[in-house]
Amino acid sequence: MRVDSENRNMNNDQNADLGLVDLFAIIWKRKLIVLAGTVLFAIASVLIALSLPNIYRSETLISPAATKGADGIGALAGQLGGLASLAGISMPNNDAADKVSMAIDVMKSRTFLKEFIDKYEILPDLIAAKSWNPSDNTINYDPELFDSENNQWVREAKFPYGPKPSLNEAHKEFLKIFDVARQKDSSLIKVSVKHPSPLIAQKWADAIVHEINAIMKHRDLQEAEVSISYLMAQLEETEVSDMRVILHSLVQEHTKTKMFANVRKEYIFKVVDPAYLPEEKAEPSRALIVILGTFFGFIVSSLGALLFAATRRNKKIA
């Protein structure tokens, strides 16, 4: 009676475990099956890698701008803080580091994205862009999501979503392609945007920095105007000399803030290195996809060969 070669490599005891040599022997005997499976996975990996669009990343380096207005109010708070507390007035907290941290958080917020989408009309390029044609600099949109000819959303979505993506959906996609991070051992901040079109990636990276400067400037101007109006009203109502000194000083500092904001274009962030036009793709790594896919195919095929051998062995034992 002929005995299978893999069974000869097993112990006579039915419950004995297979050794490493036995496993390699089984795989080697069915090497053609393992090879075929590995090749199929390799081909599938190549096809998947080739089907993925190129993604480009554009980056810009920015640094916190000198906030003279904030520094002046901060110094004033240190000088007059005790006196202000006695007079019943709370000094504003305009720490420059806090403003930079707030600006970074604002860039990641839904409010900022909504204003950015409305101003630059980026929703189709954010959600439905599929690939980029370098020959004529056009975007290929996913036809199941967006009809570019009629400029209309056509996706089929279940409640509570509609054909047009919601702000929450757009925000999730935006956070996938946008990143802002402080550099280690440096005050510099890197803002990066990824997109199938290198031109759009560059445009958005520059526009984001421009818009956050404009938004933070507008907020500080509004805050200064409201504060000045309030302080002037308080000046008219009080005759206490110490309190009037504090109020006059605060009005002066808020006025400086307004002047500083109106004359400075780069209000919160100063551009150190503008966004560049990327020439090479950032992803996908097609070679890595093929290598991992091929390796995964070898593992799956080998496990399949071992499972087949174990099934045959159990049948013979039974």
pTM over 0.75: yes
Q: Are residues 262 and 299 in the same domain?
A: no
Per-residue model confidence as pLDDT tens digits over 196-237: 999 999 999 999 999 999 999 999 898 888 888 888 888 888
Domain range holding 260?
A: 57-273
Per-residue model confidence as pLDDT tens digits over 235-246: 888 887 777 887
Q: Are residues 267 and 294 in the same domain?
A: no
Q: Give the per-residue pLDDT at 180.
A: 95
> Would you call 315 helix, strand, or coil by DSSP?
helix
Per DSSP, helices labelled H in the chain are: 5-8, 20-29, 31-51, 68-87, 96-107, 110-120, 123-127, 167-177, 198-237, 241-263, 286-317
Token pair for residue 63?
């640094």
Alpha carbon distance 46, 23 (integer Å): 29
Lowest mean pLDDT among 73-82, 245-254, 296-305: 73-82
Q: Are residues 139 and 170 in the same domain?
A: yes
Q: Are residues 113 and 155 in the same domain?
A: yes
Lowest mean pLDDT among 78-92, 161-175, 248-262, 300-314: 78-92
Average pLDDT, the chain: 84
Per-residue model confidence as pLDDT tens digits over 13-71: 444 455 778 778 888 888 888 899 999 999 999 999 998 999 999 999 999 986 555 55
* Total domains, the chain: 2
Q: Are residues 82 and 223 in the same domain?
A: yes
> Would you call 25 helix, strand, or coil by DSSP?
helix
CA 316 and chain centroid, separation = 57
Q: Are residues 42 and 125 in the same domain?
A: no
